[in-house]
Each structure stands twice: as C-alpha cells, then as structure tokens.
Amino acid sequence: MAYGQIFRPHSPDDCCITVNVGGFRQRLEHEVLKRFPQTRLGRLLCCSSREAILELCDDFSPSEMEYYFDRNPSFFCYVLNFYLTGKMHLVDGLCIVSFSQEIEYWGIKERYLDLCCTNKFHELMEQVEDKSWDQRSDDLQHQSSELSIEDLSTVEDDLEMFEGSWCADYRRNIWIRLENPAYSTSAKVLAVASLSVVLVSIIAMCIHSIPDSSETDPSEKKAENPVLTFFETLCVLCFSAEFLLRLAVAPSARKFLCSTLNIIDLLSILPFYVTLACGVMDEGENTDLENVGKVVQILRLMRVFRILKLARHSAGLRSLGATLRHSSNEVGQLVLFLSVGISMFSVLIHFVERESEESELQTIPIGWWWATISMTTVGYGDTFPVTLAGKLIATLCIICGLLIVALPITNIFNKFSKFYERQRRMDLRQTMK
C-alpha cells in the first residue's frame, strides 16, 4: 500500500500521481512509471512512509497526492517524453554537463539515449573531459607557480632570521654566496670550485675500481694507491669544510640539518671518517670487531652519495627529485602493473618451455628474470624461449610491456616539465635580485 492511500479512500485517481516540477504540474499513471522502476519517479511508487518520499522529492502533499520537485521544468518535458516513448533525447541549448546531471537526478541511464543522440552525447562529454584535463593541468601549473613564490618567500624569511644574531652581516653575506651562485662573481667561483671537487671525487672513485690502479704491500695484500688516497682525503676535507661553513652561517641549524641536500652532503662525508675509525680499531686488534673489513667495504660503497651532490648545482636533478616525490601514485601503479605482468608471463613461459631440454627457462624464478628484462624492453638475451609457443608468449610479453610502461610515463613527464620550469623561474628570480 502506497503512503498516500493511508490518508484517503480508494478512488480512480489512485492509479495516478501528480508531479509538480518548478510549477509545471502533470498527472502520471502508475503503469507508465512502473515501466522504469529504477528511475526517481518509479521509486516513488514503492515508498511506504513520508520520510522515504521526502528522500526522493523536495516536498509532498498527502491530501492531494502531489509531489514537488525543485528542478528545471523545461527539462522535465523531455523526461515525460522518455516515460512515454522509452527513449531520451538531448536538449538543444542545454549544457551537456547540466544534461548529464539532470538525467542522473531523475535516474535515467545513458543507455536510454536514442541512437540519434548517443554519438553526439559521447563526443560532447569527451570534449568536456579534455577541457577539464587542461584546466587541471593549468591549475597544477598555477599551484607550481604559487609554490615557487612560497619558496622564494621562504628564502627571504631565512635572510630575515639573521637579524639580531651574532655576526649577522658576515654570516648573511657568506650564506647568500653559498646558496645563490648567481649573486656575485665570488659566488660563482665558490660554486665552480665546489662542483670541481665533486667531479674530482667521482673520477677518483671510478679510477679506484680499476684493478691496475691498486698496489700491493710487502705482505702481498692490496693497498690503496697513494695518489688516489691523497685526492680522496683532499676532497673529503673540502666537503667537510664546506659543510661546516654552511652549518656555521646557516640562519637555523635545525632547519639546515633537516634539508634533503644537506643530508646528502653529510652522508657523503661520514663514511670516510667512520672508515678511519674502523681502521684504527682494527689495527688495535679489537676482538669485538670481527667484521670490520666488511663494514669498511659497505662504508666505501656509500661514497656513491657524492654523485648526488651534483643536485645542488643542477636544476634538472632537483626537478627530478621533486617529480619522483610527487609521482608516488604513478610510480606505484607502474610497479603494480609490471609485477602482475611479470608474475603472469613467468608462469606461462615456464609452462611451455619446461619440456624443452635446450631452454634455460626451466623454473619460475628464471622466468621472473626473463619476464622482467622483456617487459621493461631491456632484453639482455641471456635467457630466451626456444619453442614456438614460447616465442609467441614472448612477443605478447614485449607488447604488453611497452603498453604498461608507456601508460604512466606521460603524467610523470608532465610533472617533471612543470617542476623544471618552476625551478628555472626560481633561479631566474634569484639572479635578478
């Protein structure tokens, strides 16, 4: 029993309801509405309480069985035509977004659009989505510009922090020259000198990996090349002096130590001193340090952090770091897609290749390696399928890898471009000051 039947006895009007849409009144038969029970008006017939009715309409008069909707009365004419014909048509002169919102409100699905309007509807919606995408890109670029202004204001705030501190003028002048290479000729000289030391350190580390560069001591053990050791020590001392100087003149020591670039500088320095300490303790034959040699090797490996010091002198590397930091979703999706594809194709290639004695893809872990280098389009060629079915699966794997890798790359590249432009604008504004 419908809710309105509680208030008055049965009559011929019980088979109809009155709908008032923005002042436009129309009587509709139950049988017409029951043809589309999932629409808003069709669901009204199943309501058994006033609260349920008011969830579907804006107001309700039980005495007159009239339902009021505060919607566009002109559009409701098209809704009536839908109930009578079962087909929905686009409204001339109405925004496609408003049209989509209206049919969603009345519970009319897109599949009820007539064939003459379906293609036009999807074309207009695609145009709206493209404009929305462009608008979001512009908003992101605008936000990046705002962030650039905020970063520049942060630099200005840092300079204001010198006020009232010890040796404020001297520290401010040194700080500006260390932070902004474009400030003066002396600042450019300091930047070039710092960059040169970084490059010398990297070159020395590369030469140190060549077997012929090492020497042997009288006990026939490998010893450090004295020339490389000299350059290594000199570079570390320069890094240490620069770090301590920057720390001494920084407006806030706490903020300085929390900076990413400064953490990288510290990590490039510490291994050298920890290695020296381990070497001294090893010479003292301390029995508590049995694996000092391995510790020293690991610490020497950490010298690779010196390469990251180049980010201080490169806007591109800083932009790359910001891009990776703000593209966690895209990178996560890329890793997820690759993981699913690698797992699937490794099992498939193992299934078709396990019977072949010539094939090296006899286990699934080997299949993981093959699928990884295939989907990432590296293709070492150390493992490859030999059967016809395996080659077909390999072809499909490579094609899927191209598609999967290409999907999130566009978004990541767009973010990199915006961050790079942002960094260049910041550098330009600092140069103009």
Read off the pLDDT of residues 388-406 as tens digits, 9 standing for 90 and up.
988 999 999 999 998 888 8
Band (pLDDT 50/70/90 cuts) for residue 282 is: low
Domains recognised in the chain with CATH numbers: 1-70 (3.30.710.10), 168-313 (1.20.120.350), 326-432 (1.10.287.70)
Give the mean model confidence (pLDDT) for residues 173-195: 79
Q: What was the pLDDT predicted at 334?
A: 84
Q: What was the pLDDT predicted at 144?
A: 45
Identify the DSSP state of 88: B
Q: Which pairing describes strands 16-21 and 66-69: parallel, antiparallel, or unpaired?
A: parallel
b/e for 378-412, b at 16 or more Cβ within 10 A? Answer: eeeeebbbebeebeebbeebbebbeebbeebeeeb
Most confident of 163-167, 193-197, 352-356, 368-372: 368-372
Tokens representing 26 are 């129309």
Beta bridge partner(s), residue 18? 27, 66
Q: How far is CA 262 from CA 219, 244, 354, 377, in A?
A: 41, 11, 52, 36
Give the mean model confidence (pLDDT) for residues 167-182: 77
Mention every residue, 6+ apart, whose C-beta is less than 8 A from residue 120.
90
- Given a cut of 60, whether residue 3 has pLDDT beyond it is no
Cite the beta strand spans of 290-411 per DSSP E.
none
- Given a cut of 50, whether residue 7 has pLDDT beyond it is no
pLDDT digits (tens, 9 = 90+) for 197-221: 878 877 877 777 776 666 655 555 5
Q: How many CB atoms lie within 10 A of CB 355?
A: 9
Band (pLDDT 50/70/90 cuts) for residue 170 is: confident
Q: What was the pLDDT predicted at 60?
A: 87
- Given a cut of 60, whether residue 428 has pLDDT beyond it is yes
On whether the CB atoms of residues 269 and 243 are closer than 8 A, the answer is: yes
Q: Which pairing describes strands 24-29 and 59-61: parallel, antiparallel, or unpaired?
A: unpaired
Does 42 or 424 have the greater pLDDT score?
42
Q: What was the pLDDT predicted at 4?
A: 43
Positive or negative torsion for Cα 161, 167, 173, 178: negative
> Among residues 251, 107, 263, which one has the least CA distance to residue 179?
251
